[in-house]
Structure 1
Amino acid sequence: MITVENLTKRYGGYTAVDDVSFTVRPGAVTGFLGPNGAGKSTCMRIVCGLTPATSGRATVLDRPYAALPNPGRHVGVLLDASAQHAGRTGREVLTLGAVTMGLARTRVEELLDLVGLTDAEAGRRIGNYSLGMRQRLGIAHALLGDPEVLILDEPANGLDPAGIRWMRTLLRGYADQGGTVLLSSHLLHEIEVVADELLVIGRGKIVARGPKNELMQATGTTVRSTDDPAFERVLADAGLQSVTDGDGLRVSADPAEIGALAARHGVVLTLLAPAGSAGLEDMFLRLTAADAREEVPA
């Protein structure tokens, strides 16, 4: 469990995090979304005890991170995969972590195998690692102490498609066994696939939160028929707005309502589904438009 209460962080006259409160529950993956500079990394650093808050409180397992005994045994953290000693080997980094936490050396080999780093790769200096290899090593280090909580910032960065699927499966299994996962990512599709709950931050404030399914329902429905222009007129007559996208029509209503309307008018549907990634992207861009560096069209 992660609990954040009225968290604020100011740097001089700039407020990076503004009275933020949220809870990350066990047994779930919580996706933490926000544009660059919105405050999500600052929040995660405060939770991990790396940045002091100006006011408010953040606890992990009902304690501030710094008050946890042997914190690596309780909380696994990956905030920057590049922040690893370039002159050490992957095996050395994990071995140092194991010794610090009081773990058996055999745990190092277990984790190297789990994250898919070979003996040869584990023996190479980290300065010669690709970004994807650094991510795998960082995830191994986060999991080293078999923690109850994982806090991961952009863990899929640099991973190839097979690596992203591997990470998704790993996190899903971890949460299904009762673990708590706070996952930040710019890859909206990955968040959509793996997350149970969503937090969206913009300009230092939480602008949306809740179960993914509930938030995604609000993004509408994608529908395709044998005659989309005719069905657009049916939708308009029913007072429903629709826009054309690459998959068909996007409608601001739930699938059951759209299906019932089509049935009443004898319309043959070839696709009827929640808006999915496109809907999540639209919701994200709409809620965080004030924070975006690029202009977001209305």
Structure 2
Amino acid sequence: MITVQNLTKRYGDHVAVDDVSFTCRPGQVTGFLGPNGAGKSTTMRIIAGLTPATSGVAHLYGVDYRTIPNPATQVGVLLDASAQHAGRTGAEILRLAAMTMGINRDRVDEMLEMVSLTPEEAGRRVRNYSLGMRQRLGIAAALLGDPKVLILDEPANGLDPAGIHWMRTLLRDYADRGGTVLLSSHLLHEIEIIADDIVVIGNGRIVAQGTKAELLAGAGSRVHSLDDEALLRALTAAQIIARPHASGGLDVDAEPVEVGRAAAAVGVVLTELRPADGAQLEAMFLQLTSDTQREQPTLEGALR
């Protein structure tokens, strides 16, 4: 379990993390979302004992990371896949880590096989690894000590679709066996698939948190009809926000039952009506972090 309470980190006059509190539960994957510079990485570094907090606490099963004996056997951490000794081979990095932790070297071969690094790749120097291979090596290092907690910052960077599917399966299995996972990612669709709980941060403050079902409830609908223009007029008259979707149909900021009621009132035949699926998390994220986004769309930019 990870418990963060009233965590604050200041760098001079800049407040990077501002009174942040949340909990990551055993057996659950917690997705940690926020725009660039929102405070995600700083929060994770504080939890992992790499950055001291200005105030507040971050505990792993009730204790500070820095007080845990042989911490890598309790907490697996991957914050930067590129922060590995470029002159060593992947196998050497894992063997040195195993020696430091005092665990059997057979575990190294198990982890290399688990993350699908071949013997030839494991014998290659890390400077010659792709980013995806470095991510796999970093995940192997994080899991080497068979920890109860995983803290992963953007672990899907550099992975191809098959690699992302592999990672998703790996983390789901880990959580299902009782492990605690804190996962930061900019791939919102992947978070929507794998996360049980979601924490959203913006400008250093928590702007939303809860179970995925709670946060995505009421996130909108996708609808197709025989007359989308008439349906759009009916929804607008009912003070329901709707907009055309690029692939046809409408995205609607209302529950399906409300959309169906508006369509029935004007006799429009619906051919599809469902929750917004993959668009839900993106819509929620953009709405909650609209004041903290670097890229703000403008009419001038849209017309170019």
TM range (shorter): over 0.9
Query: Contact between 1:285 and 1:296, CA under 8 Å: does it hold in 2?
Result: no
Q: How does 1:212-291 map to 2 (within 5 A)?
A: 212-247=212-247, 248-259=249-260, 262=263, 267-291=268-292
Look up the match of 2:43: 43
Q: Distance in 1 between matches of 2:68 and 2:155?
A: 24
Deviation at residue 265 of structure 1 after TM alignment: 6.0
Structure 2 residue aligned with 1:138: 138
CA distance in 2, matches of 1:170, 1:240: 41
Map 1:21-40 to 2 at 5 A.
Answer: 21-40=21-40
Aligned counterparts of 1:263 and 1:215: Cα–Cα separation in 2: 29
> Over aligned residues, Cα RMSD in angstroms?
1.7
User: Which deviates further from its counterpart, 67-76 or 54-63?
Assistant: 67-76
Tell me the alpha carbon deviations over residues 14-47 of structure 1, each in whole angstroms, 9 at most, x when there is no partner. 1100011111111111111111111010000000
1:78 CA displacement: 0.2
TM-superposed deviation, 1:61: 1.2
In the TM superposition, 1:188-227 aligns within 5 A as: 188-227=188-227
How far apart are residue 263 of structure 1 and its match? 5.8
Matched position secondary structure for 2:15: strand
Q: Secondary structure at the match of 2:224?
A: strand
- Deviation string 1:195-253 (CA, Å, 9 cap, x unpaired) is 11111111100011111122122321111122222222333344322111224211122
SS in structure 1 opposite 2:278? helix
**3-state DSSP class of the match of 1:270?**
strand
The amino acid that maps onto 1:274 is: P
Write out aligned runs for 1:10-21 (5 A). Answer: 10-21=10-21
Once the 2 structures are TM-superposed, how far is the Cα of residue 280 of structure 1 from its aligned partner?
Answer: 2.0
Once the two structures are superposed, residues 102-131 of structure 1 have per-residue CA deviations (whole angstroms, 9 ceiling, x without a partner) of: 211111111100100000000001011000
Larger CA deviation: 105-114 vs 215-224 = 215-224
When structure 1 is superposed on structure 2, of 143-152 and 256-265 the one drifting more is 256-265
Q: Deviations over 1:69-104 (max 9, x none)?
A: 211111110000000001111011111111111211
Alignment of 1:5-154 (within 5 A): 5-154=5-154
Aligned residues: 298
1:124-169 Cα distance to aligned partner (Å, 9 max, x none): 0101100000000000011111111110000000011110111111
Write the letter of the residue equivalent to 1:287: L
User: CA shift at 1:268, angstroms?
Assistant: 3.6
Letter of the 1:294 counterpart: E
> Structure 2-normalised TM-score?
0.93
Q: Residue 255 of structure 1 aligns to which amino acid in structure 2?
A: P
Point out where structure 2 has 5 or more consecutive residues left out of the alignment.
Answer: 300-304
TM-score by length of 1: 0.94
Kindly indicate whether the alpha-carbon contact (under 8 Å) linking 1:30 and 1:199 is maintained by their aligned counterparts in 2.
yes
Letter in 1 for 2:25: R
Q: What is the rounded CA distance, in whole Å, between the counterparts of 2:258 and 2:55 in structure 1?
A: 46
CA contact (8 A) 1:216 1:275 kept: no
Distance (whole Å) between structure 2 residues aligned to residue 169 and residue 93 of structure 1: 25
Give runs of aligned pairs for residues 139-178 of structure 1, distance below 5 A: 139-178=139-178
Amino acid at match of 1:110: E
Q: Which amino acid aligns with 2:57?
A: R
Q: What letter is aligned with 1:295?
A: Q
Shift of 1:266: 5.5
Deviates more, 1:77-86 or 1:207-216: 207-216
Please give the alpha-carbon distance, in whole angstroms, between the structure 2 residues aligned to 1:70 and 1:228: 62
Unaligned runs of 5+ in 1: none
- The answer as to whether partners of 1:216 and 1:274 remain within 8 angstroms in 2 is no
**Offset, 1:274:** 2.0
Counterpart code for 2:79: L
- Cα–Cα, structure 1 residues 234 and 21, in superposed 2: closer, same or farther, change >3 Å? same
Percent sequence identity over aligned pairs: 66
